[in-house]
């Protein structure tokens, strides 16, 4: 069976890419998790990922990322001694994103009830402790994945995949204009065709 030419595959992928949802990760410390969440974003068409590095450097396992980082825009917030969580989340709010914190705190709503009518920045915390108090304080809402077992948590990459699957599915079934702008498509088309990556 013949492979789809790259130019055609790029168009197929661009048609399902979005910045209506972005993913934010605060202080992940295991490189395999950094790689796995990039793959989840790429596979579900989420073009933009924000990595906050206050205490743990953002690191990615090359073997696990499997090249997915070539197709996702990764923004790293890692100023030494800086208020990286605040800077990142306030920048996203200025762009019109509503901050949703993945959490187990009181006041969480189930993932299935998160509205997609406004742009979503979905935030996940470090592997052991979850999101910081600062991230919770800056959030517009708390969200949880419904669980029915004794273990009340998933691995961060599993949580990311479950959340992005549900939210992108809901978005694609809506009448909300969630697709990339034509200018954004043109920029990504040129960059991907040239094999270039975006970092900030």
Per-residue pLDDT tens digits for 145-166: 888 887 767 899 999 999 999 9
pLDDT score for 184: 97
Question: Hunting for tokens 């994945």 — which residue is that?
Answer: 145
Average pLDDT over residues 49-59: 95
pLDDT score for 128: 81
Q: How confident is the model at residue 197 (pLDDT cuts 50, 70, 90)?
A: low
Closest CA to 119 of 171, 75, 51, 181: 171
Rounded CA separation 102/143 (Å): 5
pLDDT score for 38: 97
pLDDT(1) > 70 = no
Query: For the segment 61-70, what is each residue's pLDDT rounded down to a tens digit?
Result: 999 999 999 9
Q: How confident is the model at residue 81 (pLDDT cuts 50, 70, 90)?
A: confident
Rounded CA separation 192/71 (Å): 7
- Whole-number mean pLDDT of the chain? 93
Instruction: List the alpha helices (DSSP H) in 66-195.
Output: 84-94, 133-138, 156-172, 182-194
pLDDT score for 151: 74
pLDDT score for 5: 85
pTM of the model: 0.93
Question: 108: which 2 tokens?
Answer: 């969480």
Closest CA to 99 of 132, 61, 138: 138
Average pLDDT over residues 27-31: 94
Domains and CATH numbers, the chain: 17-175 (3.40.1280.10)
Of 98-102, 175-179, 196-200, the least confident: 196-200
Question: 97: which 2 tokens?
Answer: 């994103």
Is-contact 123 24, C-beta < 8 A? yes
| Number of residues assigned to the chain | 200
Question: 185: which 2 tokens?
Answer: 């498509």
Q: What is the side-by-side strand order in the sheet with 141-144?
A: 73-77, 48-52, 21-26, 120-124, 98-102, 141-144, 109-110
Count of other CB atoms within 10 angstroms of residue 25 = 24
> What percentage of residues in the chain have a pLDDT greater than 70?
96
Rounded CA separation 118/196 (Å): 30
Is-contact 21 57, C-beta < 8 A? no
Q: Which residue has the higher pLDDT, 78 or 5?
A: 78
């Amino acid at each position: 069976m013949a492979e789809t030419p790259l130019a055609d595959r790029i168009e197929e992928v661009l048609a399902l890419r979005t910045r209506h949802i972005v993913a934010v990760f605060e202080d992940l410390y295991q490189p395999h998790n950094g790689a796995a969440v990039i793959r989840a974003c790429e596979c579900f068409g989420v073009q933009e990922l924000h990595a906050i590095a206050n205490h743990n450097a953002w690191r990615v396992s090359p073997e696990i990322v499997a090249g997915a980082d070539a197709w996702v825009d990764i923004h790293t917030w890692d100023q030494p001694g800086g208020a990286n969580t605040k800077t990142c989340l306030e920048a996203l709010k200025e762009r019109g994103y509503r901050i949703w914190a993945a959490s187990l705190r009181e006041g969480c709503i189930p993932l299935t009830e998160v509205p997609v009518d406004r742009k979503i920045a979905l935030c996940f915390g470090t592997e052991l402790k979850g999101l910081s108090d600062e991230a919770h304080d800056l959030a517009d809402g708390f969200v949880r994945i419904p669980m029915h077992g004794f273990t009340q948590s998933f691995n961060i990459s599993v949580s990311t995949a479950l959340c992005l699957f549900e939210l992108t599915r809901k978005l694609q079934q809506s009448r909300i204009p969630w697709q990339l702008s034509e200018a954004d498509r043109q920029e990504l088309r040129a960059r991907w065709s040239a094999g270039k990556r975006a970092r900030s």
